[in-house]
Chain A
Amino acid sequence: MKTTASGLLLFLLCALTVLPAFGQESDYAVKEGFEEAFRLISARIETATTIASLDSLKAEIDALEITYTDKSELLDKVLYPETFVEKIKGLRTMQTLTYDKVYLIQTQGVRLDELQMKVVYLTNKLDTLSAQRDRLWADLQTAQKSNAELRETVKRLQANLAAKDRLIFALVDSIFLPFGKDLSQLGDVPRESLGRQLEKANVIGRVEEIANDNVKFLSVTQLQGKDYGNLVDQYQQFNTRWKGLRDKMAAVAQASGRGPSGAGAGKAKGQPALTEAPGPDTTGARVDSTLVQWGNKLQSMFWGGIRKEFTDKGVTIDPFVDAPSFAASIRTLAAGLKASGQDPSLFVNEIWKARIDKEWRDALTREGMLGKAEYASLDKLVSELNPEKLDLKFIIYLFVVVLLVFGGWWFFVRKPKVTRIEPE
């Protein structure tokens, strides 16, 4: 408000200087005065960067209009083919458009600041988690602990890795969010800004580190069947989100005209091509490779764990390394047992029902593994091998119930009547 008032005062002073004596002034001076004031206000609108200055300029336009309204007839002639009213209207339009633009920039700036702070927070959080992870590794490898304690350490480590997975992609989202969805349309300046932020946050380096941590985690820990459900989910989510991030970076690289092969962190012009750099993984190729390693390790441990359930019980089964070969092996085993007439109870009761169904079903029913439909199909096949026998417990329960019903009936219906002896 103060700025507006002072701007108005300044303008009026200028106008009074230009027009020393209304009533006996040069028409030429009027024209020059108006054109100079118009030029000055236009220039200031063009360079205005704050809402306050634009408010002040609006007041100056009002003052300009008031000052020259009496001279509008002369100005209409002088400004031909434009008119005084059109000139003022043009100035107002220009001021309004610039106001909207500056307002948008200022509000976006606030949002950007918030997101920048979030990026810093997430980066610090990731660093904290990395330190915590290092302590857990050390605990796991050096301490002589009980099984329960080791199990607890593994759980905490797993939770730590899952938290890092989530954080790194929250960090990525925070970085990409201000740049909109259509990254291929990014101009040079925002693209370079995005590239700098990705580089500053060391996004690809962190993604690679997390993928490596997960591979290491699988290598050094003894996992149980129930652990795998979450691990499979974690891997699949990480893989999907990484592909999304890689596509975004490719879009940014394409916007710079380098094509998808240079899909890195959108480096500034003049810097070496991303694929040429032998040091940091700027293209994400190493992350891809680590993810393949992670996936392979997870699959081999998972199917190896299930295979061990069979070998521990001495049941011979065709080797399997993935979901299709596992399903095929189970079907072969079931067909063999059925054809040979062997007792399937070891396989059905002790392996399938007691171990596979209880420990491994959660992970097996994941879509990336067998899936629910295929698991249900195998479960039905296995169940048919061992037709339900009449359960002894069920017979005993039935006998007890019948006995109770009969006793009740006897007590209430067939109870011997007391013979009343009448006195003679």
Chain B
Amino acid sequence: MTRFANIIAAAGLVTLLSSCSSLTLDQVQFGWPVESVLTVTPANLVQDGYHGLSFNVARIAGEEFQDTTALVGKEIRLLRSNEGFYFLTGKKFRNVYVLKAGPHELSLKSKITVSPAGLQDPALNQRPPYIQLLDGKNSQKMLTSDDIVEGKQ
């Protein structure tokens, strides 16, 4: 009897704890209809007034160009996918950076190499379930948050 009571109590505790630990909403679409083209300030910041987003790109510049100030005055292109990942790239970038949001930070989810020679005229389009990367008139790739699924050379 005592054993049975212990089992009941343990089950109740598990149910209570599981209900308190997480409340998850589903069918969320984070995607932006169109990319944001943002100019990097001398302080290495980009600010997207429309979406209320700002962050420092010094570490991206260091990672891509080995120079933390390489992006100052340049434009970067940012698009959020429906999953909620931020796709970031720009002219002369060899990679597309996929970032995920955390408390006061964007952390790297993946780095997708798209052009060993560097992109000439990049643009990001929302093409659910993918993100389309264009480079000028003739190059297009479909990206997931991890890899190139179409147009891989």
A77 interfacial contact with B, CB 8 Å: yes
Q: Which of A24, A25, A28 contacts B37 (CB under 8 A)?
A: A28
Q: Which of A20, A27, A74, A77 contacts B137 (CB under 8 A)?
A: A20
Name, among B37, B77, B125, B140, the residue most crowded by chain A CB atoms within 10 Å (CB to CB).
B125
Residues in B whose Cβ lies below 8 Å from that of A26: 35, 123-125, 134
- Interface size in chain B (residues, C-beta < 8 A): 13
Per-residue A-contact encoding for B134-152, CB less than 8 Å = 1, 0 else: 1001101000000000000
Q: Which of A21, A24, A74 contacts B33 (CB under 8 A)?
A: A74
B126 interfacial contact with A, CB 8 Å: yes
* Contact (Cβ within 8 A) A74 B134: no
* Contact (Cβ within 8 A) B35 A21: no
B34 interfacial contact with A, CB 8 Å: yes
Chain B's closest residue to A29 (CB) is B123
Chain A's closest residue to B77 (CB) is A28
A31 interfacial contact with B, CB 8 Å: yes
How far is B126's CA from A77's CA once the two chains are assembled, in angstroms? Answer: 12
How far is B134's CA from A25's CA once the two chains are assembled, in angstroms? Answer: 8
Residues in B whose Cβ lies below 8 Å from that of A9: none
* Contact (Cβ within 8 A) A28 B34: yes
A78 interfacial contact with B, CB 8 Å: yes
With A20-B137, A21-B137 as given contacts, are A27 and B37 in contact (CB-CB < 8 Å)?
no
Chain A's closest residue to B125 (CB) is A27
How far is B124's CA from A27's CA once the two chains are assembled, in angstroms? Answer: 8
* Contact (Cβ within 8 A) B134 A24: yes
How far is B92's CA from A411's CA once the two chains are assembled, in angstroms? Answer: 145
Per-residue B-contact encoding for A6-28, CB less than 8 Å = 1, 0 else: 00000000000000110011111
Give the contact-size bracket for chain A.
10 to 19
Q: Which of A24, A25, A27 contacts B126 (CB under 8 A)?
A: A27
Residues in B whose Cβ lies below 8 Å from that of A20: 137
Residues in B whose Cβ lies below 8 Å from that of A74: 33-34
Residues in A whose Cβ lies below 8 Å from that of B124: 26, 28
Residues in A whose Cβ lies below 8 Å from that of B138: 24
| Shortest distance from the beta carbon of A223 to any chain B beta carbon, whole Å | 88
How far is B79's CA from A77's CA once the two chains are assembled, in angstroms? Answer: 14
| Shortest distance from the beta carbon of A228 to any chain B beta carbon, whole Å | 85
Per-residue A-contact encoding for B23-44, CB less than 8 Å = 1, 0 else: 0000000000111010000000
Name, among A21, A26, A31, A77, the residue most crowded by chain B CB atoms within 10 Å (CB to CB).
A26
Chain A residues 191-221 with CB under 8 Å of chain B are none
| Shortest distance from the beta carbon of B49 to any chain A beta carbon, whole Å | 15
With A21-B137, A24-B134 as given contacts, are A78 and B123 in contact (CB-CB < 8 Å)?
no
How far is B37's CA from A74's CA once the two chains are assembled, in angstroms? Answer: 17
How far is B74's CA from A200's CA once the two chains are assembled, in angstroms? Answer: 62
Residues in A whose Cβ lies below 8 Å from that of B137: 20-21, 24
* Contact (Cβ within 8 A) B34 A24: no
How far is B31's CA from A78's CA once the two chains are assembled, in angstroms? Answer: 12
How far is B61's CA from A294's CA once the two chains are assembled, in angstroms? Answer: 95
Chain A residues 332-366 with CB under 8 Å of chain B are none
* Contact (Cβ within 8 A) A77 B34: yes
Chain B's closest residue to A77 (CB) is B33
Residues in B whose Cβ lies below 8 Å from that of A21: 137
| Shortest distance from the beta carbon of B66 to any chain A beta carbon, whole Å | 28
Chain B residues 29-76 with CB under 8 Å of chain A are 33-35, 37
Chain B's closest residue to A73 (CB) is B33
Name, among B34, B125, B137, B138, the residue most crowded by chain A CB atoms within 10 Å (CB to CB).
B34
Chain A residues 129-163 with CB under 8 Å of chain B are none
How far is B37's CA from A77's CA once the two chains are assembled, in angstroms? Answer: 17
Residues in B whose Cβ lies below 8 Å from that of A78: 33-34
Per-residue A-contact encoding for B120-134, CB less than 8 Å = 1, 0 else: 000111100000001
Chain A's closest residue to B127 (CB) is A27
Per-residue B-contact encoding for A22-43, CB less than 8 Å = 1, 0 else: 0011111101000000000000
How far is B77's CA from A27's CA once the two chains are assembled, in angstroms? Answer: 12
How far is B33's CA from A31's CA once the two chains are assembled, in angstroms? Answer: 10
Residues in A whose Cβ lies below 8 Å from that of B77: 28
How far is B124's CA from A26's CA once the two chains are assembled, in angstroms? Answer: 7
Chain A's closest residue to B35 (CB) is A28
How far is B137's CA from A25's CA once the two chains are assembled, in angstroms? Answer: 7
Residues in B whose Cβ lies below 8 Å from that of A24: 134, 137-138, 140
How far is B86's CA from A77's CA once the two chains are assembled, in angstroms? Answer: 19
| Further contacts, 6 of them, CB under 8 A, given A26-B125, A27-B126 | A21-B137, A26-B123, A27-B33, A28-B34, A31-B34, A78-B33
**Residues in chain A within 8 A of chain B (CB atoms):** 20-21, 24-29, 31, 74, 77-78
A–B Cβ pairs within 8 angstroms, 30 of them? A20-B137, A21-B137, A24-B134, A24-B137, A24-B138, A24-B140, A25-B134, A26-B35, A26-B123, A26-B124, A26-B125, A26-B134, A27-B34, A27-B123, A27-B125, A27-B126, A28-B34, A28-B35, A28-B37, A28-B77, A28-B123, A28-B124, A29-B123, A31-B34, A74-B33, A74-B34, A77-B33, A77-B34, A78-B33, A78-B34
Closest 5 CB pairs of A and B: A26-B123, A77-B33, A27-B34, A27-B125, A28-B35
